[in-house]
Amino acid sequence: MRKLLLNSTAIATVAALTASVAVADVSISATTEYKYESRSSQKASDDGTRGISTSEIVFKFANKTDSGLTVGYVAELTSTGEAGGEIDESSFSIAGGFGKVVLGENDGVGENFGIAAFDLIAEETASIVASHTIKTSSDIVQSDGDNIKIAYFLPAMGGFTAGISHADSGATTGTDTTTYGAQYTMDAGGNTVTIGGASASTEVSGAIDKDSQNMGVKVVSGNLSVIVSNGTYEAADEDINTQGVAVSYKLANGMVLGAFSIKSEDDLDIGEEYTVSGVEAQYTIAAGLTAVVNVNDYEYTKTTGTVDATHGTISDAGTTSTLTIKASF
């Protein structure tokens, strides 16, 4: 009887403890893709074909506290080619009526609010050009990447959302980056119009700061979507202005057609210009399995300055064609 009583008490104690411990919601998702690329280029070493493979696994945890807060944690494990896997981003968040705070390794808020032409293109393929400083997208330039930072997102107010993030390098001679962003979405005669923008500033000790801005408008009318955007980047010997436009249309058979055009100029490097335009077709083969075909035509010119040490030429033009097979789980 005594042994039975002890066992019953132990079971009851464990049950009580289990009931008092919050159980987190857990989700795991994954994406993987194989890309076969063919490129014609004026530079022999960039001419030819290659295969590219990338994968990502995302782990998400969420827990609701008794006080109504939602605490979350996200970790992204990525693998690119033969480079092996690594934790790309890792951060946790606290959300409530006050908004949302994100702490850890993550993108700045510019990724959440800026609108760029490539947002309508499934596979952003920027051809390698002879300069590593010219912009190939109208998106914002975030010098802090996935560095450790703190971000705050305002609670949504109607169609308005906004946020701010800050990455502190810690060293007095280091670089600190502050990013702002906002979006406003409204209905206009049955069409959905979203206006968004972002601004990032990186302090550079003893040199010119790095500043980047983005502004864009997205219009969705039924199966048709259009984006017009502009991006700027200023730094030491850099004053780059980039315009972009893109359109996509969803067909009845599930195929999505897209087209885009990007033009970028550096006013401090006279004669430096990059243009690229392309078309794309996405087709859903089955649930979670998609094929994407891209054809891009690009041209890069630089009439002044030194020859690029990596590519060895100051001008290039050609066409890049890619077939991408993507799977999601």
Note the pLDDT of residue 273.
87
User: Residue 212's pLDDT band (boundaries 50, 70, 90)?
Assistant: very high
Of 18-32, 97-111, 269-283, 285-299, minimum mean pLDDT range:
18-32
Question: Structural domain tally of the chain?
Answer: 1
- The mean pLDDT value for 186-197 works out to 94
Choice among 6-20, 73-87, 132-146 with the minimum mean pLDDT: 6-20
In a domain, 222, yes or no: yes
Say what the pLDDT of residue 84 is: 57
pLDDT at residue 297 in the model = 92
Of 244, 227, 235, 258, nearest to 138 (Cα)? 244
Per-residue pLDDT at 172: 62
Q: Write the pLDDT tens digit of every residue in 152-190.
A: 999 999 999 999 999 887 766 567 899 999 999 999 888
Containing domain of residue 245, as a range?
25-54+114-145+160-328
Please tell me the predicted confidence (pLDDT) of residue 129.
Answer: 63
Cα–Cα distance list, 191 to 87, 156, 194, 217 (Å): 40, 20, 10, 13
Residue-averaged pLDDT of the chain: 84
Q: Are 215 and 180 in contact (CB under 8 A)?
A: no
Cβ distance 105 to 165 under 8 Å? no
Predicted confidence at residue 314, as pLDDT, reads: 63
The pLDDT of residue 140 is above 60: yes
- Position 229 in a domain: yes
Residue 126 — very low, low, confident or very high, per pLDDT cuts 50/70/90? low
pLDDT at 150: 94
What CATH number is attached to the domain comprising 265? 2.40.160.40
What DSSP string describes 194-257?
Answer: EEEEEEEEE--TTSPPEEEEEEEEEEEETTEEEEEEEEEEEETTEEEEEEEEEEEEE-TTS-EE
pLDDT at 251 > cutoff 90: yes
What is the pLDDT, as a whole number, of residue 131? 57
Please give the pLDDT value at position 171: 65
What percentage of the chain exceeds 70 in pLDDT?
84
pLDDT at 14: 35
pLDDT of residue 119: 92
pLDDT at 4 over 50: no
Percentage of the chain beyond pLDDT 90 is: 51
Domain-located, residue 71: no
50 part of a folded domain: yes
pLDDT for position 166: 93
Predicted pLDDT at 98? 94
Q: Give the Cα separation of 110 and 153 in Å (integer).
A: 11
Closest to 277 (Cα-Cα) out of 246, 255, 233, 250: 246
When mean pLDDT is compared across 102-106, 118-122, 193-197, 309-313, the lowest value belongs to: 309-313
Domain assignment present for residue 96? The answer is: no
Q: Has residue 307 got a pLDDT over 80?
A: no
What pLDDT does 21 receive?
44
**Is pLDDT larger for residue 207 or for residue 17?**
207
- Asked whether residue 80 is assigned to any structural domain, the reply reads no
